[in-house]
Chain A
């Protein structure tokens, strides 16, 4: 059987919030080591990959690999019933389960709610993501990245990201004119979560649809920092760490500059 007990249900709520607007139905693959999820948006421009290792759970048991086809809207309805400090237990049968049980327990043990979510059949392409050497890594505050994506959305549909030696520049343009926001590599680091790190091998200049980046920033509550990995001719990677026990990575295909 598959059984996973998460002490802080709030984490599962945050994970679901960060994937559900991008991927409606997702395959949650469970094995002895971790739960993984990979899904693409309907236009096959963006992909989300989530990894949550067994050590994130207070109790984790997976006798046989099992794949749960989750409708994220249905799962979200259940998790809306959970408080952040509720314990969440996921349970499913071993072989081709057609449903998954979720049990919510209040911290003081005085309230238990249980739900059964019907699993859905999902025929979706799973993509193999090659190991890539990126030309630039930018680590910054996740809140700042969210702010930049939101602010630039007022000016255009796309953002041009340019990395040079010490700087990363986010630019957008449209009918109102042009907006540029430049972040400079932090000279001193007082608080790691507020600093900017630009690690550059080669300069990059790429353009991406802001609509998707704004969806990616739904993961902001998961981590104080975000890492952008960029290479010319490769999808952008936007990574949020889930503590020491996993990550959410978003991949976004670039726009071809005119």
Chain B
């Protein structure tokens, strides 16, 4: 669903 956020919005890539 479009209202699901992704982890990349919160955590940065190592």
Q: List A residues at the B interface (Cβ < 8 Å).
A: 40, 43-47, 125-130, 157, 209, 233-235, 251, 253-258
A-B residue pair count with CB separations less than 8 angstroms: 55
A127–B3 touching, CB < 8 Å = no
A254–B7 touching, CB < 8 Å = no
Give which listed residue, A44, A129, A258, contacts B6 with CB less than 8 A. Answer: A44
Alpha-carbon distance between A108 and B13 when the two chains are bound, in angstroms: 47
B11–A127 touching, CB < 8 Å = yes
- Chain A contact residues, majority secondary structure: loop
A130–B11 touching, CB < 8 Å = yes
Given the known interface contacts A255-B3, A258-B3, the answer about A126 and B8 at a Cβ–Cβ threshold of 8 Å is: no
Q: Which residues of B contact A130 (CB under 8 A)?
A: 11
A253–B9 touching, CB < 8 Å = yes
Give which listed residue, A157, A209, A251, A257, contacts B7 with CB less than 8 A. Answer: A251
A128–B6 touching, CB < 8 Å = no
